[in-house]
Amino acid sequence: MFRKCSPLPLWMVIASFAVALSLPAQTFSPWSKVENLGPVVNSTASDSCHFVTKSGLSLYFASSRPGGMGDLDLYVSQRATTNDPWGAPKSLGPTMNSNGKDHVPFITPDGHTMIFASDRAGGLGLNDLYASFRRNAADDFGWEAPVLIPELNSAKDDWAPWDFEDPTTGRLTLYFNSDRPGGVGGLDIYTSTLQADGKYSAPKLVPELSTSADDTMPTIREDGLELFLTSNRPGGLGGVDIWTSTRASTSDPWSTPVNVGAPVNTSFGEQRGVTFGDATKLYFFSGRSGGLGGSDLYQATRTKTTLIPIAGSTTGAGGEAFRTTAQLSNSGDAEISGKLIFHPAGVPAANSDPQITYRLGGFESQAFPDLMASFGVTGIGSVEIVPDAGPAPASVFRIDNGASVVVPAVDTESVLVTGSRGAVTMPSDTSRFRLNAGFRTLSDGVTMTVSLYEATGKLVRTSTQSFPPNFLVQMPAATLAGGAVAANQSIVFTINSGSVVVFASTVANSGHASTLHLVKRIMN
């Protein structure tokens, strides 16, 4: 139950290097190192429904510990720096708390407004959304009397607010959950935007995040490209689990949520995943064994990583020897260290994948004349840069066969997402040139319709292609299109679900020349 609250052909080698991934969202390692926040913060009662301020110095949460005014009260714990432990929690007092449930707080990016849920007397439904203002954005106890936000509330259950300010448009969008009429079942995810008159727009259902199960507690990474929600939808590990969704840009729809998995989720039920700052920590609450009370606050950690498709120590169709060279550079004066992990293409990443370490002093660089030889492997795949101490190094990777292969930069328009299309055109002289395509999926995989058209616009044939998450694959145009292709024909990709980068390589049949480009997104 939820608490409220063989030798490789040249085209394959070239295509494997096409996506130098700084894809639209930051790449991270899996979540690990789950830790209880400890007895200073947690109590023998239930501690839940938390929020960490943008500074990372104030932790707000709801608790049923003794000494409160109602079923759940709002508390705050403070610390001097993000390296310090959290201090003893203090109640926000009678201005903010009532004799009911006061919970799931969120503070707007400017620091002046708190939006939270309460079932106190005077509301419109079971739980309603309230707002409180403070003049000093640094004063955790300067909140004024809360007021109901009538345009957001209904006669049903409305709670778990989270405001997201789009860094490109400045628009403020509130996410929350509700079981109001018009949803798809149980509690669903809704959004509303703050308008020029200071009021919120009529709430709208977010269908890609909502199911016939209960979908609650949406939270969003600061850049707006990653979302966490709590759900009891099928496929979880417990009664309720934390799920995550991503998008290529803030104007794109959210991907189908995937379960965060272990060690964050367990059979005991985990809820409200919250990130802040650099998003390398996930705060959540759980009633798992080993805690202090009914539910406790926990944190999990992850590392920012960089993923770069590479090739090397292999032979092209024309007999060329390919290798990947690399250089890592430390742009700061403090030592940094970490590891490079090689993930072979076409198979899931594994803990046994080859790795090498790096350690760079201040402003030091390290060169790898043949990176694949350093790993002791051949073929194609991806290198993941995983920092252990300090930030990730600046890096340059290049495939070399006696000449440089130019790799285009990836931007958000190069990521095809659900509802978008992209197209490539066959060379006009297929006796001299051929077209090959590669695909690098994101964390949600992809399913797409592939359509082949004559230059006149006449449809030749269609087929469906699906690839799993975080997958790298390459193929000739004829394989992709399900049969023979001819000069000047076009291949159109329509994304039915998920997200993918599509790269096209026009290769000379002699094997000694090529061009490479990324397929740009066209929205329907």
Write the CATH number of the domain with boundaries 305-400.
2.60.290
CB atoms near residue 19 (< 10 Å): 26
Name the token pair of 317: 């169709």
CA distance 263 to 219: 19
pLDDT at 516: 67
Instruction: Collect all residues with Cβ–Cβ distance below 8 Å to 341 and sequence separation of at least 6.
Output: 349, 353, 354, 355, 383, 384, 386
- Tell me the per-residue pLDDT of 403-453, one tens digit each, with 9 for 90 and over: 555 445 456 677 888 888 999 999 999 888 888 888 878 767 899 999 999
Q: What pTM was estimated for this model as a whole?
A: 0.70
Residues of the chain short of pLDDT 50, as ranges, are 1-4, 6-25, 313, 316-317, 406-407, 409
Identical fold for domains 305-400 and 408-523, yes or no, is yes
CA distance 284 to 298: 5
Which run of H or of E encompasses 522? strand 522-523
User: Between 2.60.120.10, 2.120.10.30, 3.20.20.10, 3.40.50.300, what CATH number should domain 36-303 receive?
Assistant: 2.120.10.30
DSSP string, 254-302: PPPPEE--TTT--TT-EEEEE--TTS-EEEEEE--TT-SSSBEEEEEE-
Instruction: Collect all residues with Cβ–Cβ distance below 8 Å to 352 and sequence separation of at least 6.
Output: none
**Domain limits, the chain:** 36-303, 305-400, 408-523
Report which of 256, 217, 208, 219 is spatially closest to residue 235, judged by C-alpha positions. 256
Residue type, 302: R
| Class for the domain spanning 408-523 | mainly beta
pLDDT at 23: 36
Give the per-residue SS3 of 184-224.
CCCCEEEEEEECCCCCECCCEECHHHCCCCCEEEEEECCCC
C-alpha of 100 from chain center = 35
- Tell me the per-residue pLDDT of 337-385, one tens digit each, with 9 for 90 and over: 999 988 887 776 777 889 999 999 999 999 998 888 899 988 777 788 8
CA dihedral sign, ordered 303, 304, 307, 312:
negative
CA distance 435 to 502: 13
